[in-house]
Chains A and B, each alone.
Chain A
Amino acid sequence: EDQVTQSPEALRLQEGESSSLNCSYTVSGLRGLFWYRQDPGKGPEFLFTLYSAGEEKEKERLKATLTKKESFLHITAPKPEDSATYLCAVQAADTGNQFYFGTGTSLTVIP
Chain B
Amino acid sequence: EPEVTQTPSHQVTQMGQEVILRCVPISNHLYFYWYRQILGQKVEFLVSFYNNEISEKSEIFDDQFSVERPDGSNFTLKIRSTKLEDSAMYFCASSHNRGAYEQYFGPGTRLTVT
Contacts and interface: CB of A to CB of B under 8 A. Distances in A.
Interface residues of A, number: 25
A24 interface: no
Contacts of A45: 105
Interface in B73-114: 89, 91, 95, 98-108, 110
Contacts, number: 63
Interface residues of B, number: 28
B56 interface: yes
B41 interface: yes
Contacts of B35: 99
B107 A104 contact: no
B5 to A, nearest CB: 10
B98 A97 contact: yes
Given A31-B99, A43-B91, A96 B56 contact: yes
Contacts of B104: 46
B55 A97 contact: yes
A97 B43 contact: no
A84 B56 CA distance: 30
A20 B4 CA distance: 30
A26 interface: no
Nearest to A32: B100
A87 B110 CA distance: 19
Given A97-B55, A100-B45, A43 B99 contact: no
A72 interface: no
A44 B44 CA distance: 12
Contacts of A41: 89, 108, 110
Contacts of A46: 102-105
5 contacts: A42-B107, A43-B108, A97-B33, A99-B43, A102-B42
Interface of A: 31-32, 34, 36, 41-46, 49, 51, 87, 89, 91, 95-104
